[in-house]
Amino acid sequence: MIKRNKVFIAVSLDGFIADKNGGIDWLTETPNPEQSDLGYANFSANIDAIVMGRNTFETVCGFDMDWPYTIPVFVLSNSLTKVPVEYAGKAFVVNGPLTEVIAKIHTLGHGQLYMDGGGTVQGFLKEDLIDDLILTQIPVVLGEGIPLFKAMSKRLDFELVKTETFIGELVQSHYQRKAVPIN
Ligand SMILES: NC(=O)c1ccc[n+]([C@@H]2O[C@H](COP(=O)([O-])OP(=O)(O)OC[C@H]3O[C@@H](n4cnc5c(N)ncnc54)[C@H](OP(=O)(O)O)[C@@H]3O)[C@@H](O)[C@H]2O)c1
């Protein structure tokens, strides 16, 4: 089983994933007449499950559309014990040490994981558990909002895999964690 923890997320030029009210309208304001999926289908072709923070889960639940995922979604939360009944069988609450959360998801047969949500990504980065960071930069400086990154005590080195430009405006950079030298 291939095991990889991946982030695929859109950020403002100043590093926010949502505005100060949690709003994400600015993500989709760039004209996209041909409805490019901004690389999402290619990315999700190699994803077995999603690990999502409770805030992002609630954002997705609030979208005016059907549940958008066909793979299991594991919702990180210390405040929920289970997801609302309409998401039963599709989304599952998980918590505990992140290495144990990942190990449990692996035992269920899901190796390639998509980590989503600011606090969630920060938690996995803090434990050096992210292998791929795919960041799509939206050309806006929000000034304030929900940050993708927060202070960490440890430095993590990544290397560029590729860069793509979508709809002439959005730069998507794929970085992977550099191998950590064994001393
Ligand atoms: N720009 C983009 O592409 C993008 C992508 C995704 C989300 N967003 C936006 O980002 C915002 C959400 O981000 P966010 O930073 O607020 O948070 P988030 O990661 O979605 O959710 C944070 C919550 O997840 C739970 N959680 C996170 N790590 C945990 C852990 N290790 N153990 C247990 N529970 C854990 C906690 O829930 P409890 O409080 O229940 O314990 C925490 O309060 C939303 O506005 C969303 O729309 C934007």
**Is position 23 within any domain?**
yes
CATH value at residue 152 = 3.40.430.10
- Verify whether ligand 1 is closer than 6 Å to residue 12 (CB atom): no
Confidence of residue 103 (pLDDT cuts 50, 70, 90): very high
pLDDT at 181 over 90: no
**Is position 65 within any domain?**
yes
Q: Which atom of ligand 1 is nearest to the CA of 22?
A: 45
Measure 120 CA to ligand 1 centroid, in angstroms.
5
Q: Give the list of residues 6+ apart from residue 129 with CB closer than 8 angstroms, or none.
A: 5, 98, 99, 102
Read off the pLDDT of each residue in 130-139 and give the average, rounded to a whole number. 98
Range of the domain at 14: 4-177
Measure 76 CA to ligand 1 centroid, in angstroms.
8
**Is position 48 within any domain?**
yes
- Verify whether ligand 1 is closer than 6 Å to residue 111 (CB atom): no
Overall domain count for the chain: 1
Measure 145 CA to ligand 1 centroid, in angstroms.
13
**Is position 11 within any domain?**
yes
Q: If you count them, how many residues does the chain have?
A: 183
pTM recorded for the entire structure: 0.96
Q: Which atom of ligand 1 is nearest to the CA of 147?
A: 15
Read off the pLDDT of each residue in 121-137 and give the average, rounded to a whole number. 98
**Is position 183 within any domain?**
no
Q: Give the list of residues 6+ apart from residue 122 with CB closer than 8 angstroms, or none.
A: 148, 149, 150, 152
Measure 180 CA to ligand 1 centroid, in angstroms.
28
CB atoms within 10 A of CB 103: 12
Please write the tens of the pLDDT for every residue from 38-78: 999 999 999 999 999 999 999 999 998 999 999 999 999 99
**Is position 12 within any domain?**
yes
**Is position 171 within any domain?**
yes
Measure 77 CA to ligand 1 centroid, in angstroms.
9
CB atoms within 10 A of CB 95: 16
**Is position 63 within any domain?**
yes
pLDDT at 182 over 80: no
